[in-house]
Amino acid sequence: MEKRCQGAVCDDSVVHTEPALVPELLVTDIGRSLAFWRDLCGFTVAYDRPEEGFAYLTLGSAHVMLDQRGLGRDWITAPLDPPLGRGINLQIGVPDVDGVLSALLGAGHPLFLKPETRWYRAGEEEAGVRQFVVADPDGYLLRFQQSIGRRRAR
User: In this structure, how many other beta carbons lie within 10 angstroms of the beta carbon of residue 149?
Assistant: 10
Q: Could you tell me which of 59, 54, 24, 23 has the C-alpha nearest to residue 44?
A: 59
- pLDDT tens, residue by residue, 120-150: 998 899 999 999 999 999 999 999 999 999 9
Q: Which helix (H) or strand (E) holds 31?
A: helix 30-34
- pLDDT tens, residue by residue, 32-64: 999 999 999 999 999 999 999 999 999 999 999
Answer yes or no: pTM beyond 0.85: no
Residue 2: band (very low, low, confident or very high) from pLDDT cuts 50, 70, 90: very low
Q: Per CATH, is 4-71+82-152 categorized as 3.20.20.70?
A: no
Residue 83: cis peptide before it, omega within 30 degrees of 0: yes
